[in-house]
Structure 1
Amino acid sequence: MATAPANNLPIFYNDLVPLSSVDHADFRARPLDNAGFLVNQHAVPLTSDEFVSACRFYPIVFSAGENPVPLALMGLNEGVNTFVDSDGKLLNPVYVPAYIRRYPFLLARLTPDSEDLSLCFDPTSAAIGKYEDGDVLFEDGKPTEPVNAILEFCKNFEEAGQRTGFFMEELKKADLLMDGEVAIQPEGSDKPYVYRGFQMVDENKLRDLRGDVLRKMMQNGILGLVFAHLFSLQLMREVFAEQVKAGKVPELIQVPAV
């Protein structure tokens, strides 16, 4: 369900430039009435801070590989998103992951050896440009309140990312992750759809954890996040059902999910 972008930029981003009071003095930011970049995106990065809010709407899984990250599944197959229409508009009110809300902005290092993060944006996004309407980004060469709010949001996102990294390290330290597999057999079919290619928490290993480890996980909040992840997995069947209704289920074969 999760593949790295070919251009090594984060998903959604086609390009990145630092926001400048000189180069972008007359730029404005405006809200988009749709998110076309979501139409073909089936998995979106999620921070651990968001598990409780997101688990009511999306299956939460972990990407494959040695450095897994949490993902909110908006579809079970590559290129399928059951939460937006063909124009990128939400079909129903749901929790929108911070990764989506952050776009087209991003905090990034301008040089590999730099310790400072700069506020950047994707210049291909229609959310920012030389418009007559929208929020002014600079006044008298200084960032406006909307820019400060964007910067604060991006800083909070980075901090949440650090907490997510700690959460993932604790899962790996406790050896709780396993290769995931979900089999869904549609009504009237003699064969199930089998989804693989993601990771999930191994409930058997969770039950066998030592008491002191469990107590520590409960005290630092990790255990609650694990349960949010596990409870959310039941939503895979609901997402699959939405794909069926939309006619977006591929030919019945053994298909990789993430």
Structure 2
Amino acid sequence: MTHMALLNNVEHHDLRVISDHGVEYGDSINLTPVFPTEFAEAQRDYPIVFRKDEKGQYSAVALLGLDKGENLFLTNEGWQGRYIPAIHQRGPFVIGRQNQEVDGEIRREPVIFVDLEDRRVSRSEGHPLFLKHGGNSPYLQHVSHVLRVINKGAEIAGPMFAAFEAADLIEPASLEIRLDEHTVYQVPDIYSINEQKLATLSGPALESLHTSGFLRAAYLVLASLPNVSRLISLKNAKRTQNA
């Protein structure tokens, strides 16, 4: 059950949000969406790959674990990655659109909604959303930034993948993760950037990717792939603890 409400400092003046991470908050997954607006941060911790839906649309995901429902960065102490993907930082909040008058014109402006049924929402625990004497709290300012990252990232993801396809950069990827001589994981149905084609781009194709900012995004995706070795280390450490 959800109960989405337009966030405001009158009805929700005493609202608080628990910002912890755990299985109970939906953080125990092995793949999670990431957006172009956070590639620079996410590529330091996680392998970034692409998935394709039934309509043929691409999206970017970060690989968090090897087994279904496994987040190797999630421990009893919380999320241990240096960067937490925005979709897991937003908590019980989403961005919506509402008609508002701006400079005499009616515009569809972004507004924040909160799910009042979310178990992280409280009147007694967690971070306050509003200051006692008015204004947004530092936590709500952070949430606003995270929602902008998601919103802007969702807007540019389509054009980015269209540009990658136009430059013939996307290719099926074969990701084989070998823990030892007996344990091998295959990550199916993923795509990545063709490094050779990216390196040999020239002329209008190169210029177009560069001016749009998508060239940097392609290189960030490639730079993320060595993080597979970190997943192997985390997985082997977990196996040792459970042995």
Change (3 A) 1:24 1:56: same
Q: Partner residue of 1:76?
A: 66
Residue 34 (1) aligns with residue 34 (2): no
Contact 1:28 1:128 (8 Å CA) reproduced = yes
Q: Partner residue of 2:136?
A: 145
Residue 217 (1) aligns with residue 206 (2): no
Equivalent residue for 2:116, pick from 106, 123, 127: 123
Supply the AA of the counterpart residue of 1:44: T
Equivalent residue for 1:167, pick from 139, 146, 160: 160
Q: Partner residue of 1:196?
A: 188
Equivalent residue for 1:63, pick from 51, 61, 64: 51
Contact 2:5 2:115 (8 Å CA) reproduced = no
Q: 2: distance between equivalents of 1:105 and 1:235?
A: 29
Q: Which structure 2 residue ranges, 5 or more long, are not aligned? A: 99-106
Q: 2: distance between equivalents of 1:183 and 1:148?
A: 41
Cα-Cα RMSD? 3.3
Contact 1:41 1:80 (8 Å CA) reproduced = yes
- Per-residue CA deviations over 1:86-111 (Å, capped at 9, x if unaligned) read x4712x3511122211121001358x
Percent identity, aligned pairs only, is: 20
Q: 2: distance between equivalents of 1:208 and 1:152?
A: 36
Report the structure, 1 or 2, having the larger strand content. 2
1:15-34 equivalent positions in 2, closer than 5 A: 15-21=2-8, 24-25=11-12, 27-34=14-21
- Per-residue CA deviations over 1:228-256 (Å, capped at 9, x if unaligned) read 111211212321332232139xxxxxxxx
Q: 1: distance between equivalents of 2:223 and 2:119?
A: 37
Q: 1: distance between equivalents of 2:187 and 2:21?
A: 29
Q: Which stretch shifts more, 209-218 or 99-108?
A: 209-218
Q: 2: distance between equivalents of 1:123 and 1:88?
A: 26
1:225-244 equivalent positions in 2, closer than 5 A: 225-244=217-236
- Per-residue CA deviations over 1:5-47 (Å, capped at 9, x if unaligned) read xxxxxxxxx6351235499445412343333324421122112
SS at match of 1:40: coil
Q: 2: distance between equivalents of 1:23 and 1:17?
A: 16
Equivalent residue for 1:108, pick from 96, 99, 103: 96
Q: Which structure 1 residue ranges, 5 or more long, are not aligned? A: 1-13, 249-258
Q: 1: distance between equivalents of 2:78 and 2:171?
A: 34
Change (3 A) 1:226 1:107: same
